[in-house]
């Protein structure tokens, strides 16, 4: 194992909690070469966590205790399990392309799946899509610079932005396209400041041809970063270099963002992406299914589109679940099957509307009346059903403890809390009757 990394681990062990170490740091595999320290993370999710939460500490350590000039590269990769004692073979890495300079290697990869042809169009994103295509053909044109795409999470902003990058690279492969999340911009600035490399930072960001920055709202309240971004922005647009940014709202509404930056961001072309209609959602599902080579029946797509609330990402994950379960069970996908697969999602949406159902179900299950549950009487026969009702209301609805208490004949929140703890305790103590009741009721309520 790399000696530098071993030292770094010791340092991190003193700095971080045991859990962070064992969960995020220990699974990293380190390879040391004369010029660089390569850290391999098992997957992108853990990589992001390491980068966002611990990278500054790792860099601090390496710079201070090992070598000023060592570059640190964090990638997704696997180290083949070599038998002990045998020389380790070189790691198989999945390179994050393209490799921009050594010290400021913060850019993320454009994901291959985010291209124009895989983007599902609908009324809600028509304009944003068309503009994106224009931008990709006329990169740097003042009319579209910057191009700002805004809207809620999971609506395809990142997809569209990366599609612009892909299209430009396809037409002009030598263009330097940099995509990064705003947070990484901030991180690289901090790191450049710490290591007295602000000039390389400026040089790097001002030399790119196309700068794609995701979630610009992360700049809010970070004055130094805004300042640096503002200058980068001016330098790039001044030289007809294209900037594309995404934001979760219209920039004017971001609190803690300098006015001059707000006006710059709104100074080119901007388009909103609205949540897709059910029709678009169904179309998205059909397209995603097709990409995976699955023949998804129309009614199933409509069923999922209607029943899943939330972002396109959630829609996609619902689809994934149906497909995977169909693969495992070798079953044909129809509406009933989809309903079965998504049973824990679908009723979630319905149950929010109706807390009364829970009380009725419990009253029926324990053979008491709903009035008994709400009454002030406290015989044992009612205490347990009432506690169970409070527990389930707490678990299955968005109601606060106080409002749950209120709905049981004006009890206060501590009574509800006590009830929840009491039931949880019985569950934890493997009280079979309580466990059975709890399971049955949940099954009954969640379908």
The contact set with other proteins (CB under 8 A) reads: 1, 9-11, 13-19, 21-23, 26-27, 29, 41-46, 49, 60-61, 63-65, 76, 78-79, 81, 193-194, 196, 198, 317-318, 320-321, 324-325, 328, 341, 344-345, 427-430, 435, 439
Find the shortest distance in angstroms from Cβ 260 to other proteins: 20
Residue 21 or residue 283: which is nearer to other proteins going by CB? 21
Place of tokens 């319905």: 350
Residue 198 or residue 381: which is nearer to other proteins going by CB? 198
* Distance in angstroms (rounded) separating the CA atoms of residues 6 and 26: 11
Nearest C-alpha neighbor of 29 from the set 99, 87, 88: 88
Find the shortest distance in angstroms from Cβ 249 to other proteins: 23
Residue 50 or residue 212: which is nearer to other proteins going by CB? 50
Residue 63 or residue 351: which is nearer to other proteins going by CB? 63
Find the shortest distance in angstroms from Cβ 307 to other proteins: 14
Place of tokens 């390496």: 62
Q: Provide the token pair at 140.
A: 């740097």
Find the shortest distance in angstroms from Cβ 257 to other proteins: 21
Residue 14 or residue 353: which is nearer to other proteins going by CB? 14
Residue 7 or residue 140: which is nearer to other proteins going by CB? 7
* Distance in angstroms (rounded) separating the CA atoms of residues 91 and 96: 14
Find the shortest distance in angstroms from Cβ 194 to other proteins: 6
Find the shortest distance in angstroms from Cβ 309 to other proteins: 16
* Distance in angstroms (rounded) separating the CA atoms of residues 289 and 321: 12
Element (H, E) at 74: strand 71-78
Find the shortest distance in angstroms from Cβ 269 to other proteins: 33
Q: Provide the token pair at 21.
A: 């170490």
Find the shortest distance in angstroms from Cβ 320 to other proteins: 6
- Angle value at C-alpha 133, between 131 and 134, nearest 5 degrees: 65
Residue 189 or residue 368: which is nearer to other proteins going by CB? 189
Find the shortest distance in angstroms from Cβ 391 to other proteins: 16
Find the shortest distance in angstroms from Cβ 140 to other proteins: 31
Residue 49 or residue 360: which is nearer to other proteins going by CB? 49
Give every CB contact of residue 246 below 8 A, 6+ residues apart in sequence: 148, 149, 150, 157, 158, 161, 213, 214, 215, 216
Residue 74 near residue 107 (C-beta atoms within 8 A): no
* Distance in angstroms (rounded) separating the CA atoms of residues 230 and 189: 13
Long-range Cβ pairs for the range 382-390 (8 Å, 24+): 386/419, 387/419, 387/420, 387/422, 387/423, 388/362, 388/423, 388/434, 388/437, 388/438, 388/441, 389/358, 389/359, 389/362, 390/415, 390/416, 390/419, 390/420
* Distance in angstroms (rounded) separating the CA atoms of residues 50 and 55: 6
CB neighbourhood size of 232 (10 A): 22
- Rg of the chain on CA atoms, in Å: 27
Residue 16 or residue 134: which is nearer to other proteins going by CB? 16
Residue 196 or residue 376: which is nearer to other proteins going by CB? 196
* Distance in angstroms (rounded) separating the CA atoms of residues 99 and 108: 10
Q: Cis check for the bond before 159: say yes or no (omega within 30 of 0).
A: no
Residue 344 or residue 350: which is nearer to other proteins going by CB? 344
Q: Provide the token pair at 326.
A: 């169909």
Find the shortest distance in angstroms from Cβ 198 to other proteins: 8
Nearest C-alpha neighbor of 267 from the set 144, 127, 161: 144
């Amino acid at each position: 194992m790399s000696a530098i990394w071993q030292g770094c681990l010791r340092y991190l062990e003193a700095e971080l909690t045991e859990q962070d170490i064992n969960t995020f740091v220990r699974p990293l595999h380190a390879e040391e070469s004369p010029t660089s320290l390569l850290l391999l993370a098992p997957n992108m999710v853990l990589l992001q966590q390491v980068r966002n939460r611990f990278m500054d500490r790792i860099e601090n350590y390496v710079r201070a205790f090992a070598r000023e000039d060592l570059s640190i590269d964090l990638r997704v990769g696997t180290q083949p399990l070599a038998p002990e004692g045998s020389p380790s073979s070189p790691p198989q890495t999945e390179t994050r392309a393209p490799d921009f300079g050594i010290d400021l290697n913060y850019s993320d990869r454009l994901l291959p799946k985010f291209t124009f042809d895989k983007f599902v169009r609908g009324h809600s994103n028509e304009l944003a899509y068309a503009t994106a295509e224009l931008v990709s053909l006329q990169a740097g044109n003042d009319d579209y610079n910057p191009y700002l795409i805004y809207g809620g999470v999971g609506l395809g902003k990142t997809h569209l932005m990366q599609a612009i990058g892909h299209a430009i690279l396809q037409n002009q492969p030598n263009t330097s396209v940099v995509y990064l999340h705003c947070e990484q911009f901030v991180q690289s600035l901090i790191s450049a400041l710490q290591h007295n490399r602000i000039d390389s930072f400026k040089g790097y960001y001002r030399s790119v041809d196309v700068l794609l920055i995701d979630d610009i709202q992360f700049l809010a309240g970070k004055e130094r970063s805004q300042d640096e971004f503002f200058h980068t922005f001016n330098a790039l647009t001044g030289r007809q270099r294209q900037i594309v940014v995404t934001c979760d709202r219209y920039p004017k509404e971001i609190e803690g963002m300098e006015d001059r930056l707000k006006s710059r961001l709104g100074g080119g072309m901007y388009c909103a992406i609205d949540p897709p209609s059910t029709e678009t959602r169904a179309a998205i599902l059909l397209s995603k299914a097709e990409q995976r080579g699955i023949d998804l029946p129309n009614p199933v797509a409509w069923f999922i589109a209607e029943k899943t609330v939330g972002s396109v990402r959630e829609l996609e994950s619902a689809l994934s679940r149906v497909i995977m379960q169909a693969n495992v069970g070798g079953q044909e996908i129809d509406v009933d099957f989809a309903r079965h697969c998504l049973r824990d999602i679908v009723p979630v949406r319905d149950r929010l509307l109706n807390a009364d159902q829970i009380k009725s179900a419990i009253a029926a299950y324990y053979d008491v009346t709903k009035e008994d549950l709400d009454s002030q009487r406290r015989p044992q026969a009612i205490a347990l059903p009432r506690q169970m009702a409070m527990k389930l209301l707490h678990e299955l609805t968005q109601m606060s403890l106080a409002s749950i208490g209120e709905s049981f004949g004006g009890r206060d929140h501590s009574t509800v809390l006590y009830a929840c703890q009491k039931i949880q305790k019985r569950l934890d103590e493997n009280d079979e009757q309580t466990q059975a009741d709890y399971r049955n009721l949940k099954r009954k309520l969640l379908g």
